[in-house]
């Protein structure tokens, strides 16, 4: 079926529509389906970690390919009666007691509650050849990919304060770490002292391009001066931007992360955004969440949504029993 037909064909009111089918969204959908909530997941098919060969740190699934993990998740959701549809959500609006989710293809799904798990976009440094290697030998997280580059020559591209902390984190994994100051500014005196004590080299000057060998592996960085420095992996600090523009009609917008790392939706510990009927989970509301944390937040938000629906169902049942209520 087309996107329009599949999302809108039934005309039903879903208990929950989940916008985004990554690990947070699928974990939420699985939890909701298992307590017999009707749940629809609408997913644009653009997981943030798709360029990576493997996802790490997820207990019992360490090293699984990201797309395989999502395939397994969709199968599990479907096995409990949940539905996963392809589509890109264009907007969410309120109609009476319900929320209406529309897609760019003209689809329309009506929900009692909406969970936003659309994740984020990584805005990478503007260095020639860098974006093409993102998720391979250009990376940012020591917990996601640090083991894979242990004991190799690791470069850290400084574009802000995070570079110093990344250098210390990756020095734990390799004795050969070099910080490229690039556009990040000079370290403080205390940072210079720590870098020197740990044997971390510091190279001044902007990085213009990455160099790749004939095996399609990162081999070094080329500075504006023309100098080349050999590295096997390059650590960067992207700016993280939540995918949340489609929520504008509800008055929801991204806010700056307290540490200046990007923009995210604000939500409480259970994922509630403060807008009636709307929750959020995963990277869209926690820029630093890895796969396990994103999955856990989806489960937690699902439980909070189900509790909210239980309360609404109980109040409706009481109202239906009152004298004069329609039978």
pLDDT at 10: 57
| Best CA proximity match to 30, nearest among 88, 74, 89, 94 | 74
Residue 258's pLDDT is 87
Specify if 299 maps to a domain: yes
State the average pLDDT over residues 29-33: 98
pLDDT-derived band of residue 11, with 50, 70 and 90 as boundaries? Answer: confident
Same domain, 7 and 115: yes
Do 8 and 114 reside in the same domain of the chain?
yes
Mean pLDDT of the chain: 94
End residue of a domain, out of 175, 210, 235:
235
Q: Is residue 146 part of a domain?
A: yes
Q: Are residues 107 and 129 in the same domain?
A: no
CA-based nearest residue to 114, from 242, 294, 304, 323? 304
- In DSSP terms, 178 is beta-bridged to 155, 201
Q: Residue 158 and residue 181: Cα distance in Å, rounded? A: 5
Give yes or no: residues 211 and 259 share one domain: no
Number of separate domains in the chain: 2
Residues 59 and 73 in one domain: yes
Residues 246 and 118 in one domain: yes
- Whether 116 and 145 map to the same domain: the answer is no
In this predicted structure, the answer to whether residue 1 has a pLDDT above a threshold of 50 is no
Considering the chain, what percentage of its residues have pLDDT values greater than 90?
A: 92
In this structure, the answer to whether residues 103 and 150 fall within a common structural domain is no
Q: Is residue 327 domain-resident?
A: no
- The answer to whether the Cα torsion of 238, 242, 248, 251 is positive or negative is negative
**CA–CA dist 207, 224 (Å, integer):** 6
The reply to whether 117 falls in a domain is: yes
Range(s) of the domain holding residue 68: 3-122+239-321
Domain annotation covers residue 222: yes
3-state secondary structure of 6: helix
Whether 118 and 18 map to the same domain: the answer is yes
Q: What pLDDT, on the 0 to 100 scale, is given for residue 6?
A: 57
323 pLDDT tier (thresholds 50, 70, 90): confident
| 307 and 265 fall within a common domain | yes
If asked whether residues 130 and 118 sit together in one domain, one would say: no
- pLDDT tens by residue, 32-88: 999 999 999 999 999 999 999 999 999 999 999 999 999 999 999 999 999 999 999
Query: What pLDDT is recorded for position 2?
Result: 47
Say if residue 302's pLDDT is above 50: yes
Residues 130 and 217 placed together within one structural domain of the fold: yes
Measure the CA–CA gap between 47 and 26, rounded to whole angstroms.
12
pLDDT at 327: 52
| pLDDT score at 4 | 45
Instruction: Tell me which of 219, 235, 251 is where a domain ends.
Output: 235
Tell me, what's the pLDDT at 112? 98
| Per-residue 3-state assignment (H helix, E strand, C coil) for 162-185 | HHHHHHHHHHCCCCCEEEECCCCC
CATH number at residue 92: 3.50.50.60
* Sign (positive or negative) of CA dihedral 292, 55, 160, 198: positive
Last residue of a domain, one of 179, 214, 235: 235
Q: Give the three-class secondary structure for 291.
A: helix
What would the mean pLDDT of 228-238 be, rounded to a whole number? 97
For residue 91, tell me if it sits in a domain.
yes
The whole-number pLDDT of residue 260 equals 86
Q: Is residue 86 part of a domain?
A: yes
Q: What is the pLDDT of residues 154-172, one digit of tens each?
A: 999 999 999 999 999 999 9
* Model pLDDT for residues 244-268, shown as the tens digit of each residue: 999 999 999 999 998 888 999 999 9
Q: Is the pLDDT of residue 3 over 90?
A: no
Distance of CA 243 to the CA centre of its chain: 9
């Amino acid at each position: 079926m087309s996107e329009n037909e599949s999302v809108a064909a039934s005309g039903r009111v879903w208990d929950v529509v989940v916008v985004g089918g990554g690990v947070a969204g699928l974990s939420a959908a699985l939890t909701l389906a298992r307590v017999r909530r009707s749940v629809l997941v609408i997913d644009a098919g653009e997981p943030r970690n798709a360029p990576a060969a493997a996802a790490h740190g997820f207990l019992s699934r360490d090293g699984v390919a990201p797309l395989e993990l999502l395939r397994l998740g969709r199968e599990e959701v479907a096995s409990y009666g949940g539905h996963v549809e392809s589509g890109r959500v264009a907007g969410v609006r309120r109609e009476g007691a319900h929320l209406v989710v529309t897609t760019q293809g003209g689809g329309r799904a009506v929900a009692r509650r909406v969970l936003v798990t659309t994740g984020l976009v990584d805005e990478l440094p503007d260095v020639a050849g860098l974006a093409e290697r993102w998720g391979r030998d250009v990376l940012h997280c020591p917990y996601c990919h640090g083991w894979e580059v242990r004991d190799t020559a690791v470069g850290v591209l400084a574009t802000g304060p995070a570079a110093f902390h990344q250098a210390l984190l990756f020095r734990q994994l390799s004795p050969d770490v070099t910080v490229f100051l690039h556009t990040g500014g000079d370290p403080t005196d205390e940072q210079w002292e720590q870098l020197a004590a740990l044997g971390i080299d510091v190279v001044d000057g902007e990085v213009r391009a990455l160099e790749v060998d004939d095996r399609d592996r990162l081999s070094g960085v080329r500075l504006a001066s023309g100098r080349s420095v050999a590295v096997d992996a390059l650590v960067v600090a992207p700016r993280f931007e939540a995918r949340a523009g489609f929520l504008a009609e509800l008055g929801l917008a991204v806010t700056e992360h307290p540490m200046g790392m990007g923009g995210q939706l604000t939500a409480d510990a259970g994922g509630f955004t403060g807008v009636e009927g709307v929750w959020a989970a995963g990277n869209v509301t926690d820029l630093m969440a890895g796969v396990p944390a994103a999955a856990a937040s989806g489960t937690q938000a699902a439980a909070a949504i189900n509790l909210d629906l239980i309360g609404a169902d109980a109040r409706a049942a009481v109202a239906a029993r009152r004298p004069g209520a329609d039978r």
